[in-house]
Amino acid sequence: MASQATLLLQKQLKDLCKNPVDGFSAGLVDENNVFEWNVTIMGPPDTLYEGGCFNAIMKFPEDYPVNPPTVRFISEMWHPNVFRSGNVCISILHSPGDDPDGYELASERWNPLHTAASGGIRILPLSLLDHAWSRDGG
């Protein structure tokens, strides 16, 4: 029997294919594993990433959507929120609740109401690539 997370991810990927997000595409790394997605993010216009095509792996935990996916760029990526390993560190991908270090508000972090599309996928191109490195410096 499929887990709730499996069924939810299958539905979310199907919905994403029916209603694509501009500048973003996703598919399964392995058709037998709905917990690991290949994602491609196109560099947003008017940023230093414009014209770029960035590939990443999005891995979902077994308790998704209670906890967020992880994202690791497999394309070379220079950004202050991306480690040398390609792992992404942004608030929306941090576990829900209060930040033990006090740097983030709970409202900035993952919550189980997010979906792969509304939380992770739409936030990545917007918060990671759009705002940090716009051509006008802002």
CATH number at residue 97: 3.10.110.10
Rounded mean pLDDT, 39-57: 85
Give catalytic residues, as residue numbers: 89
User: pTM score > 0.75 for this model?
Assistant: yes
Question: Is 119 inside any structural domain?
Answer: yes
| Other beta carbons within 10 Å of 15 | 12
Question: Is 137 inside any structural domain?
Answer: no
Quote the domain boundaries for residue 90: 4-131
pLDDT interval class at 138 (50, 70, 90) = very low
φ, ψ for residue 109 (rounded to 5)? -95, 170
Q: Based on the structure, what is the number of domains in the chain?
A: 1
Question: Is 138 inside any structural domain?
Answer: no
Distance (Å, rounded) from C-alpha 120 to C-alpha 71? 9
Which of 4-8, 45-49, 102-106, 127-131 holds the top average pLDDT? 4-8
Flag whether pLDDT at 134 surpasses 50.
no
